[in-house]
Structure 1
Amino acid sequence: MTNNYLSIRLKKSWNKLIVAIPFLLSFNAMFAQNTTIIIKNGEYWYGGAVNEAHTMPFKDGYTFDLFANTGTNQASPLLLSTKGRYIWSDEPFKFTINGNQLIISDDSQALDIDSTGRDLKDAFSNASKKHFTTKDKLPDTLLFSRPQYNTWIELVYNQNQTDILKYANDIVANGFPTGVLMIDDNWADYYGRFDFRKDRFSNATAMVDSLHKMGFKVMLWISPFVSPDTEVYRELLAKKLLLYSADQKEKNNWDKAVNPAIISWWNGYSAVLDFTNPQAKAWFKSRLDHMVSTYHLDGFKFDAGDADFYPRDAISFKKATPNDHSRLWGEIGLDYPLNEYRAMWKMAGQPLVQRLRDKQHTWADLQKLIPHITVAGLLGYNFTCPDMIGGGEYGSFIGRDKLDEELVVRSAQCSALMPMMQFSVAPWRVLSKDNQALVKQAVIIRAKHTAYIMQLAKQSATTGQPIVRSMEYQFPAQGYAEVKSQFMLGDKLLVAPALDKNRVKTIYLPKGKWRDDRGKTIKGPTKIAQDVPLNRLPVFELVSK
């Protein structure tokens, strides 16, 4: 046994105490119920679930179980530290912070605990090279180069041809650039039926053709669910392409299973396709291709697919955990460069677009965008879109006579220099002319930096490095581990949007010479308080180190 390698294997009923040593290369803990890692002085940990990122770095008492739980957003069996360590497992696990201990439990597979790095960037680089190498492919670049528009907040469940075309025409009429337009939920007669409903779409092909002529590419919302007691449901049940309930006469016997699993989700109760069965995947893809060829669609918004929705004891064609089912849902999008996901498991490094989960129309949720999108990058989900500008959780819009216009403006500014920006609520409907002009100004700021964003996206597809980075990632060991109010776009631009109604913002500038968006040069390291009127998005360029 050398000084830089330690491997301990204990029986399943034992507990293990791991004391990290400086040059530990790797640690494989197999058949262990609990694994305890001693947290070093000044060491901070991140990872697991993107939607928990505002709680990171993890504090004493924090716990999260990744099994059957992606946190309603992206997740990965990966934890990373500011001291260059990472923890990876091929399967979900539970982790808890207890004082100076990080306890991993319920791990059914070998843990890879690597301590060869020096900082957070090293931890990410080492983990990505070993466990989720990039594929050198990008999603459709229109998702980066132009704003996106989603019909959800304006139409909710009343998706229809007339209002979709009106929304698109209003985008152009109000001076916003065309880009990707997403048609959201309730365009079909029921889930599992892949044709536009005739009562709301008189000629869906002509609608999509019109949108193309206007300069849009068109995506369509889909899910893996199938409405029970419908024609398609009966067809799929007869072909054994659905997931089965554990409530069967013969337990765990797929051949003799007859009772489908009925899943409870936000739109009621549905059966769900079993993508461990190649025939189910082939059937689903044939329906998507039918939508492309018949209605001239360009891609799909793949919603749901959360591990949380899949029963832990469901019977499938091939044995699979809820997390496996979520990953298989992610694999389908690889056939469509124009894609978007809101839930994901262990698909880092792939050319898949991820969106942060629906945020409420509140300042508290706006403040979650930066930590969430930077942790998404740490987990290898680099092609990530913040939530819809102003918020995408439609329940927070119900009963409001008037939106907080300042919040909508600040939301647009916060999104402007992230990898993508997506509108849903129509600025021209909810904002004054002056505030609408400020939102358009945020779009113009993005256009100014689009070439740099595209450069970073291409580099990310090759190197795996995040497009958007936390301060600790880019400037390790300088005291920025808990800074969540600003981010780095690549290694050149520091973006510090206002995230509350306070017009004075505290900004942290690391070592180097910085030039702000007003032309002022500032020497770092320093902490400054700057005036941020509603018409300003603070951006600092690193002129020299």
Structure 2
Amino acid sequence: MLHKGLAQTISDTTTLTLLPGEHWWGGVVRDGHLMPFDSAYSIDLWANNQGNQIQPLLLSDKGRVIWSESPIKYAIASGTIKVASYGSEIKFAHPDRSRTLKDAFQYASQKYFPASGKLPHQLLFTKPQYNTWIELTYNQNQNDILTYANKIVENGLPAGVLMIDDNWQENYGKWQFHPGRFHDPKLMIDSLHQLGFKVMLWICPFVSADSDIYRALESKGYFINEVDTKLPLIVRWWNGASAVLDFTNPGAVRWFQEQLRSLSDTYNVDGFKFDAGDSYFYKDPLKSFKEVTPNEHTLLFQQFGLDYPLNEYRATWKMGGQPLVQRLHDKGHNWNDLQKLVPQIALQGILGYPFNCPDMIGGGEYGSFINLDAVDQELVVRSAQVHALMPMMQFSVAPWRVLDDRHFEIVKKAVEVRDQYLPVILDLVEKAAQNGEPVVRLMEYEFPGQGYHQIKDHFMLGRDILVAPVLQQGITTRAVVLPKGNWEWKGKTYKGGKTINIQVDLEDIPVFSRK
């Protein structure tokens, strides 16, 4: 029997008065650069994930926590936070001895989204990832994929995870290699394995309405339906209009699992990039096998990634502590978006998502790389340098195609710098699987109450590595805020507790180690 989706009904509300000097983070990863929240901010998380991860969680640098098991909406204005929940009690906590942002996170993590003890595949962290999207866009084909992979190795970059992006398949929902573009997909994947790559395939929860698989799945009742017509709901997304699989239906879940297993068993595919699944695709009115919120439809799509250590998600809901790779939403090829990487990926960490990827190096808009005269080579270099000290780094645009020799060599040097700090990154990743703590951390998280809450262009790798990447065009000096203690960079020791100015060349990634 089909059920109507749950109504958007407020079940609980609360208002908190801000403490003197209190600052708040949480909720929406895409707005991480706006945090801590200004004096006026509001958002509604019902069917609204803003194209990225969300969590019904708010955290304060005074150790206070707000949580609900259901979607929330909240507004900050005039010294208060007003919160409403759709379906569950709002839980407010200020535990004893909880005085900092770290205290608040650790309490929330242990109580609401404890670490699973499991990790995504280690290769996602140890080597760069390569996504075929920008180079091939909708012309994913066997010959060009092999050419891309071979050029990675020929140009001196290490083999890692290779993601074959959208349009490798016959149709949305018909998850078979397109026979016109892939004459022997098993041979292709075997060849990629021989080069040292693991292979992931792009996949989504949509089914093309004019395909034969649509008719078969409709007859089984595996789609979300419209309320009035009882026909499959057709949603508009960035690639057109499609039906949506109903993962509240056990039959649809089994069918989708079978598609993934078939690709793994038949072709030795190693894992999957799970795209779409955004909660805004599941807005009422709709009918599904079981009554759930739009956000829970998103959550149900996430269950499949737990079976594959090689996974990636861009849109998730309430999956803190789980071994899922969380990618930031698509970034443009511009300096403004580059400056959002640090606060957004740091926010992922305190929402319980430590296994994170800062999108594609240089940005994910393929149109920016068609005209080479429009490519900002300095931006690509600085983007690679930011990625190099984060949990993962992902290439898509081929740097050897869009960069001159000098800039490409600097990008390769960034990969080498990453290798130097890889033991630190891996140690933090492994600990995150056990205790949930972020890998990339806000300055306020490690150095509370010292006025660092507004710093959005530095980040900590654990407690002892401070990274101050260059995020502005054409600068030759960089201001770095050093906490108290002694910090070393390029063989020189700096006394902390103050702001220093350093010379930065194009090759430089300012990384300070606490001594």
TM beyond 0.5: yes
Q: Equivalent residue for 1:239?
A: 220
- Checking the alignment, whether the CA contact within 8 Å between 1:360 and 1:394 is kept in structure 2 is no
Letter in 2 for 1:36: T
- Checking the alignment, whether the CA contact within 8 Å between 1:227 and 1:271 is kept in structure 2 is yes
* CA deviation vs aligned residue, 1:280-314 (integer Å, no higher than 9, x gap): 11100000100111111000000001111112221
Letter in 2 for 1:374: A
Q: Equivalent residue for 1:449?
A: 421
Letter in 2 for 1:232: I
* CA deviation vs aligned residue, 1:377-397 (integer Å, no higher than 9, x gap): 010000001110000133444
Q: Equivalent residue for 1:171?
A: 152
Cα distance in 2 for partners of 1:269, 1:196 equals 21
Q: Equivalent residue for 1:104?
A: 83
Cα distance in 2 for partners of 1:396, 1:317 equals 42
Please say if 1:55 is aligned against 2:28.
no
Please say if 1:39 is aligned against 2:18.
yes
- Checking the alignment, whether the CA contact within 8 Å between 2:372 and 2:402 is kept in structure 1 is no
Please say if 1:201 is aligned against 2:182.
yes
For 1:349-364, what aligned pairs fall within 5 Å after superposition?
Answer: 349-364=321-336
Letter in 2 for 1:47: G
Work out which structure has the larger RCO, using CA pairs closer than 8 Å and 6 or more positions apart in sequence.
2
Cα distance in 1 for partners of 2:495, 2:211 equals 66
2:391 to 411, 419, 422: 419
Q: Equivalent residue for 1:87?
A: 66
Please say if 1:407 is aligned against 2:379.
yes
Cα distance, 1:398–1:79 mapped onto 2, change above 3 Å: farther
TM-score normalised by length of structure 1: 0.91
**Offset at residue 230 of structure 1 (A):** 1.4
Q: Equivalent residue for 1:132?
A: 113
* CA deviation vs aligned residue, 1:38-73 (integer Å, no higher than 9, x gap): 011111111101011011111122111100011100
Q: Equivalent residue for 1:486?
A: 458
For 1:216-231, what aligned pairs fall within 5 Å after superposition?
Answer: 216-231=197-212
Give the share of equivalent positions with the same residue, in percent: 55
* CA deviation vs aligned residue, 1:151-207 (integer Å, no higher than 9, x gap): 011111111111100000000000000000000000112100011001111111100
Cα distance in 1 for partners of 2:294, 2:491 equals 52
**Offset at residue 98 of structure 1 (A):** 1.0
Consecutive unaligned residues of structure 1, counting only runs of 5 or more, are 1-12, 14-29, 249-257
Cα distance in 1 for partners of 2:260, 2:228 equals 31
Shift >6 Å, 4+ stretches: none
Cα distance in 2 for partners of 1:393, 1:63 equals 29
Tell me how large the CA RMSD over aligned residues is: 1.2
Cα distance in 1 for partners of 2:11, 2:316 equals 27
Q: Equivalent residue for 2:6?
A: none
TM-score normalised by length of structure 2: 0.96
Please say if 1:214 is aligned against 2:187.
no
Cα distance in 2 for partners of 1:49, 1:425 equals 28
Letter in 1 for 2:405: K
2:296 to 317, 320, 324: 324
Cα distance in 2 for partners of 1:245, 1:395 equals 36
**Offset at residue 503 of structure 1 (A):** 2.1
Q: Equivalent residue for 1:26?
A: none
Q: Equivalent residue for 2:170?
A: 189
Cα distance in 2 for partners of 1:433, 1:213 equals 28
Worse overlay, 344-353 or 104-113: 104-113
Consecutive unaligned residues of structure 2, counting only runs of 5 or more, are 1-8
Cα distance in 2 for partners of 1:497, 1:394 equals 25
* CA deviation vs aligned residue, 1:7-54 (integer Å, no higher than 9, x gap): xxxxxx9xxxxxxxxxxxxxxxx943x321101111111110101101
Equivalent position SS for 2:209: coil
Worse overlay, 464-473 or 303-312: 303-312
Cα distance in 1 for partners of 2:488, 2:26 equals 32
* CA deviation vs aligned residue, 1:348-403 (integer Å, no higher than 9, x gap): 10000111111000000000000010000010000001110000133444556330
Q: Equivalent residue for 1:17?
A: none
Equivalent position SS for 1:47: strand
Please say if 1:122 is aligned against 2:103.
yes
Letter in 2 for 1:452: V
Letter in 2 for 1:152: W
Q: Equivalent residue for 1:268?
A: 240
Please say if 1:521 is aligned against 2:493.
yes
Q: Equivalent residue for 2:45?
A: 66
**Offset at residue 504 of structure 1 (A):** 1.5
- Checking the alignment, whether the CA contact within 8 Å between 2:141 and 2:181 is kept in structure 1 is yes
* CA deviation vs aligned residue, 1:124-167 (integer Å, no higher than 9, x gap): 00001100001100010000000000001111111111110000
